Amino acid sequence: MTSRNGPTPPTKFYQEDIVRRISSPNVHGVVLRCWHDSEDLLPIPGPLMDPLMRPLHRGEVGVSFLPGGLREIVHESDYELVDRTFQVGDYCKRGLDNVRSGVVVSTEVQAKLVHAISGEPLSGWKDIRDLRHAANVNAGDYVMHNDWIGQVIQLFDELVVSASGTLVRIPEINSRLTVGDKGLDILPSPPSLQGVHSTCQAAPMPTANDTVVDLKHTVLAVCWLALNQTLERDTAWRKLRPERFWHGEELTKLSVIRTKSGDIRVGDKVILPNNEVVPTMSFDTGTESNGKIVIRTLCVQETRTTVTVLWQDGCREILRSTELVPYLNVDEYDCWPGDHVMWKNEEQERVAVVQSVNSADRVAVIRCADTGTLETVSVLELDPNGTGDMSPDVFNGHSFGVRRGDSVFVHPEGTTNGFAPPRVPKIGEIEEWVREPPVRADGELGGWRRTMADLGARIAADRKAQRFPVYNVRLPRRDDNSLSWFGEVTELRLDGSVEVTHPNMEVSVLPLERLTRLYDSLEQIEDDGWDEEGSEQDSNEDYSEGLWLQDGQGIWRYEKNDDDEWEETDEEPDDMEVDDPWAETKSSPAPDDASPNSLPRNVTPDLADSVSPLPFSPSTTSPDMSQEMVVDNTVKESDEVGQESAWKRFEILSSAPVDHAFYSTPSSQFSRTFLGRLTKEYRALSNSLPDSIIVRAYENRSDLLRCLIIGPENTPYEDAPFVIDWMLDSNFPQSPPIAHFLSWTNGNGRVNPNLYEEGKVCLSILGTWSGDRTEIWSAARSSLLQAFVSIQGLVLVKEPWFCEPAYEKLRGTEEGMVNSRLYNEKAYVLSRGFVRRALEVPLGGLQSEINWLYYTKGKLAKVLKDSRHLIEKSKSEPDSKVDPDIAVPRLTTGGIITLERTLVKLQGFL
């Protein structure tokens, strides 16, 4: 696939890559942002203070240069790759167009060091295992106290800055600075400055040479997450949650846990603890009591990383990290040797451990946990993540198995975590105070941050008046066996057991059921950011005044709302027959906004083909209906009488079916305005629905509808039935309709990125995804017809993988082409199962139409014929070139295995 201007160049850099300027080989930096990153930049009022925060164009990267920390957006063609950072548990590939992937199981990292301030280099390479962080604790570190595990979420620092020949002490919460950082933004406003010694008088003005020469963490804010799982219940109840703020001598009661390998990276400030001779710098404080500040802090300028990769086929390989690329958009069916999975098909669910994977054929060899036997299965029948598990336990928080790099609790021998394998619970209760807003309405620090800042400032003032010792948290000793109840997953064995490395570096081999994963505060806050309810609430805001929109250059601008179409009036209709030009005349069956071709402006070219009509007689429900038509769309006497009359695009049935997703939802009392608008909606549906969509409404529940959409041609969804139940709340049309998708995937993953297994339909017009003003629901401009046709035209498309907003920018890239092809195969196989489900289980209010379409009209025979032809073509031409014009040009062996199971059932229906 190529773009309009030719092939899309491959991605060159990724986050945390170490790069060097081609024209100045001594200039190094670390990549912080790339154009292909999945991110949404929010509008920021005022000037953009951070130079990296503007939208990136293709080929641009945001780089932080070393050692000073200067940040700049540059073009990647001006730089070359020096090293690529990987951690244990990261996924990788040889190239973006490869289907085989691997998992990093170990790393060996060497570093080149320079003095943090002077830049004087140390000779040779240093193993990072001989280094330790200059700061004894950092934000995000785990700490232990009295059988509790917590996480450092905030630090209060005391900085010493050399500014215009004067040493200035700066007490600061949430410091972003480290020793050696320099620049104009180091010094805060003058009133907050304090001299290091009593002779300091006037505060200096900021300059580009202001440099941090010393830093001490004086106060820690710790979110305590969970208790030691080996404690007896009575003992655990007596273990009260520790304090949130730690300072002074109390810091020595904390133990910091650092077991993850490769946690020192380029730009980090480190020290050599073995008293090796290193360059130093000293600064005279000017007082006898404080003496000199001697700086031995070093900066990691460059790294050289070697990784051991476990490939999906089971082989291990040692490679330079620069020979690999990160595997960021992992396919939901991808798994690796040692992974715990659930093998699901129509007949059974079995727990298994992956032994090897043939990624090209999409088949895996698994070891069944119940019998120990080996089976070769399709990866499309494996659930490695638990994403398709809708058991009640899912709401308690669990995943399938554990991953290398996970932090875990260990349960005592003879006990379990309470879950049946492969489910592993995750625990970690984030304290509510952590979520308090950082600032008040007046712009000042608020909540616990205000308390912490006041505490830190008081400690700094006391330290200025009298010299106090500096206390640090402790590191676990190698001979300390008291922390064996916690550790990090470092290996997954093929027999299903797990290797766990404890804080003292001892290794235990444990069964999966004795482990519980730590759900840390950073992970929880990140998950909160993707809260689906929040996104719905935000998208239903009142935009009557205006809203922020991005222009073509990615700049956010505020635009006033000047919509004046489809506005509701205060007049209430006397009955359901409302005179309205929108549904009244023969010559104008519907306005442009309500027509199937009137969709948000990001409609893909697939739409022209996606609503291709089924082979029905146009006389069944002609758009050219008279004004006197009956709203329930019953067939008129003049219509052609025959089997085709069974396919009525719109009809009002007497009662809602009991299998409707919202059947048990109480019906509200609806206003006459609601009913009047509903009449308009019914008329538009009667006139303008394409032949491949049918809708049913109900006399006893005017707030409910059900629609059946037939998958468009030349998409993975061709000829498959998609059923969505709808509910209109009492605020309709001011609020959008509520949709519930009937997913029939048997827990084997989503059939489409916008159609969730639990029923959510993710679409801008429904308020379940953010969009610009032309895409979100508007009472004045939107309609039910538009919602139905949008799903067919914007969701059930030829390349659904790109429906994810983060992936759209990858269209035309090697990564995008590979992932899209694999996703299409999955979508095709799963949607053939939708045909089976629709024929196997009667669907309330639509079963006669389903039977007529698939049996009488021969659609089932076509599905069987097309599927078998595709299977034969895939077997006879497995290595043929993929035709980009065909949605599903061929199937892998794994796809064939799963599809053939479904075809056996479908053949039985004939």
Helix/strand/coil (H/E/C) assignment for every residue in 769-785: CCCCCCCCCCCCCCCHH
Size of the chain, expressed as the number of residues it contains? 910
Task: Please name which of 601, 605, 603, 607 lies closest in space to residue 774, comparing C-alpha atoms.
Answer: 601
Q: Is 640 exposed, middle or buried (0-12, 13-18, 19+ CB in 10 A)?
A: exposed
What lies within 8 Å, CB to CB, of 754 at 6+ separation is 761, 762, 763, 769, 795, 800, 803
Residue of 92, 707, 762, 803 marked catalytic: 762
Collapse the DSSP code of 788 into the 3-class scheme (helix H, G, I; strand E, B; otherwise coil) and give the result.
Answer: helix
Q: CA 669, 673, 676: angle at the middle one, nearest 5? A: 105
DSSP 8-state code for residue 792: I
As beta bridge partners, residue 695 has 650, 707
Pairwise CA distance, residues 900 & 548, whole Å? 50
Radius of gyration of the CA atoms of the chain, in A: 32
For residue 67, is the peptide bond before it cis, meaning its omega torsion is within 30 degrees of 0? yes
| Burial of residue 434, with CB atoms counted within 10 A of its CB: 0-12 exposed, 13-18 middle, 19 or more buried | middle
Helix or strand run (H / E) with residue 537: helix 532-539
DSSP string computed for 373-434? -EEEEEGGGEESSSTT--SGGGGG-EEES--TT-EEEEPPTT---SS-TTEEEEE----GGG
Task: Tell me how far apart the alpha carbons of residues 762 and 530 are, in angstroms, rounded to a whole number.
Answer: 13
* Residue 344 CA: distances (Å) to CA of 396, 579, 604: 22, 55, 34
> Which amino acid is it at 274?
N
C-alpha to C-alpha distance for 334 and 895, rounded to whole angstroms: 14
Helices (H) and strands (E) in the chain, counts: 12, 41
**Contact between residue 213 and residue 167 where contact means Cβ atoms under 8 Å apart:** yes
- What angle, 0 to 180 degrees and rounded to 10, lies between the N-to-C axes of helices 859-876 and 814-840? 140
Nearest to 860 by CA among 845, 879, 840, 880: 840
Q: Counting beta carbons within 10 angstroms of the beta carbon of residue 344, is it exposed (0 to 12), middle (13 to 18) or buried (19 or more)?
A: buried
3 state SS of 462: helix
**Angle at alpha carbon of residue 327, lines to 321 and 333, rounded to 5°:** 140
List for the chain the helix, strand, coil content (%; round to 5).
20, 25, 50
Closest by CA position to 353, among listed 334, 372, 325: 372
DSSP-derived secondary structure for 803-858: GSHHHHTTTTSHHHHHHHHHHHHHHHHHHHHHHHHHHHS--TTTHHHHHIIIIIS-
The pair of structure tokens assigned to 761 is: 């339909």
Which residue intervals of 628-730 are DSSP H helices? 672-688
The answer to whether the CB of 305 falls within 8 A of the CB of 107 is: yes
Instruction: Determine if the peptide bond prior to 733 is cis (ω within 30°).
Output: yes
In the residue annotation, 762 being an active-site residue is answered as yes
Omega prior to 422 cis, within 30 of 0: yes
| Pairing relationship of beta strands 60-65 and 24-34 according to DSSP bridges | antiparallel
Residues taking part in catalysis: 762
